[in-house]
Amino acid sequence: MTPLDRRAVPPGAVTRAVASLMAVALLTGCAVGPNFTRPAAPPVDSYARPSLSSTTAAVDVPGGDAQRLLPGGEIPHDWWTLFESPGLNALVERAVRANPTLVAAQQSLRQATALVSAQRGLFFPTLQGSFAPSYQRTSATFSNPLTDPNQFTYTLYTAQVSVGFMPDVFGGTRRQLESLLGQAEAQRFQLEAAYMTLTSNVVAAAVQEASLRAQLAATREIIAISTRSLDLVRRQFQLGAVSGLEVSAQETALAQVEQTLPPLQKQLEQNRNLLTALAARLPSDDPDETFELASFRLPTDLPVSVPSRLVEQRPDVRAAEAQLHAASAQIGVAVANQMPQFTITGAYGGTSTAFTQLFANGNPFWTIAGNLAQSIFDGGTLLYRRRAAEAAFEQAAAQYRSTVITGFQNVADTLYALQADAASLTAAVGAERAARRTLDITLKQQELGGVNYLALLSARQAYQQTLIAHVQAQASRLADTAALFQALGGGWWNRPPAAPTTGEAAER
């Protein structure tokens, strides 16, 4: 290289040359692989068969109102407030604020969005600076590289700035970004799904507590009736009106009823533990709220989104769609990897034995280089990676279809459950009233000595069963109403803009 060739070149010239090559590469590049198209919603206008009524049965007891389905209605984002329970509202708010499962989902979204930002950095050239001082001695066997032929020991300083860039000619980087965006979108909807699941679990646990308390109260009522009956039989035995067998039978019946109390109490305590865990507390921190069936109001007007919107509203369906999008983009990545790979590099720097002379005289140096590489033989690695990406896409498509079908099934199941719950409550109320009348008559006849102990045991057992069935049917209406809101997506899309969403909270 002649002294004329070693003249310093302004760094701006290198930058302009690399920028020009980048512009040409980006303008002429294309993104290989399939372009994603959102799957269409199922072409149906109903969730269930025509036999499903739009109004449930009604009965004149608390929680027995008729419920009406309102097609096309909007679900509020805080749907649990429709139960008009201040304690439930407070518990849900506390759970949303601190539940670790929700925090974990938020951080997963944060991680996914950070990976998207990292991938965007590949659209820009990398710029690196280096400085390498060294102290060395050159062997006299070789020609001295310095201008002074007698100087074999010297300090050498080298400083340079290097630029590297891989033009996205075939769109591999863009497809990878598209895939990461799909994964981030999936995480966003998984966060919404976690939010919806958490709130639904809190409501379900609160309703279950109310049901257990009502079952305990019903069992205690039966115990009280059995105790009074046993006292009467004992007095009759003392008077010689009944045999010892009847006394023993009544004592056995009372013990059997009392035996049902501990399992209910165990379930209640475990349910209380569940409520504390959902609120991100330890079991020793007893919740401030207690729930009774009377503390809930059964929502009577139930908004039901049109079927074509369910795929837009269900977080699990949207997450499956985003995963399908990510899998589609991975096919493009695999195809781009089969194409020629371009790289552009440039460097500018200086070398001198004196630090202050790095860029003086002929000391600067620069290089601009391009590289084109194409795999000629790889044993089928790239081909089978492409086929694997295509298989992954088909798998994601099948999972998406399965998720959609499950979503529609969930809605249909809850709609039929609401109908059945109302009918069950109506039947349970009628059976309870009849059993209560039978028991009252039997107890009066017992006092007069007109019935034997078998008739009393039968009447009391029938009343206990119908009383528990009434309580369970009442709780089922509340639980399945909450399940309907969950099946329809939970109303996250109606969250007010002023309130930070779960996704926005993760970004902060």
Q: Write the pLDDT tens digit of every residue in 4-47.
A: 333 333 444 444 544 454 454 444 457 898 999 999 999 998 99
- The per-residue pLDDT for 467 is 92
Span 383-392, average pLDDT: 96
Q: Say how many CA atoms lie within 13 Å of 79 toward its Cβ.
A: 33
User: Bridge partners of 71?
Assistant: 304
Neighbour-count burial of 250, counting CB atoms closer than 10 A to its CB (0-12 exposed, 13-18 middle, 19+ buried)? buried
Contact 99, 333 (CB under 8 A): no
Confidence band (pLDDT; 50, 70, 90) for 503?
Answer: very low
At 61, which amino acid appears?
Answer: V
The backbone torsions φ and ψ at residue 298, rounded to the nearest 5 degrees and listed phi first, read -75, 120
Tokens of 476: 């089922």
Q: Any alpha helices (H) in 261-366, and if so which ranges?
A: 261-278, 307-313, 315-337
- The per-residue pLDDT for 506 is 44
- The per-residue pLDDT for 3 is 35
At 177, which amino acid appears?
Answer: L
Q: Is a pLDDT exceeding 90 seen at residue 414?
A: yes
- The per-residue pLDDT for 486 is 96
Note the Cα 399 to chain centre separation in Å. 16
Q: Any alpha helices (H) in 121-171, and if so which ranges?
A: none
Q: Which of 201, 213, 209 is nearest to 271 (CA)?
A: 209
In residues, how long is the chain? 508
Most confident region among 74-83, 237-246, 347-356, 438-447 by mean pLDDT: 74-83
Note the Cα 92 to chain centre separation in Å. 16
User: Bridge partners of 351?
Assistant: 158
Q: To the nearest whole percent, how much of the chain has pLDDT over 70?
A: 92
Span 146-154, average pLDDT: 76
Domains of the chain: 46-124+168-342+384-507 (1.20.1600.10)
Contacts of 126 (CB under 8 A, 6+ apart): 163, 164, 165
Confidence band (pLDDT; 50, 70, 90) for 500?
Answer: very low
Q: Write the pLDDT tens digit of every residue in 160-204.
A: 999 999 999 999 999 999 999 999 999 999 999 999 999 999 999
Q: How far apart are CA 378 and CA 388, in angstroms?
A: 16
- The per-residue pLDDT for 39 is 93
Contact 265, 216 (CB under 8 A): yes
Helix (H) or strand (E) holding 235: helix 172-238
Span 328-354, average pLDDT: 92
Please state, in angstroms and as integers, the Cα–Cα distance from residue 36 to each residue in 82, 329, 331, following that order. 39, 8, 11
Span 116-145, average pLDDT: 87
Q: Is a pLDDT exceeding 90 seen at residue 363?
A: no
Other C-beta atoms closer than 10 Å to the C-beta of 87 total: 16
Q: Is a pLDDT exceeding 50 seen at residue 109?
A: yes
Tokens of 421: 């719950």
Span 372-398, average pLDDT: 94
Please state, in angstroms and as integers, the Cα–Cα distance from residue 337 to each residue in 8, 21, 89, 171, 341, following that order. 38, 21, 53, 10, 8
Q: Is a pLDDT exceeding 90 seen at residue 439?
A: no
Other C-beta atoms closer than 10 Å to the C-beta of 75 total: 22
Contact 335, 386 (CB under 8 A): yes
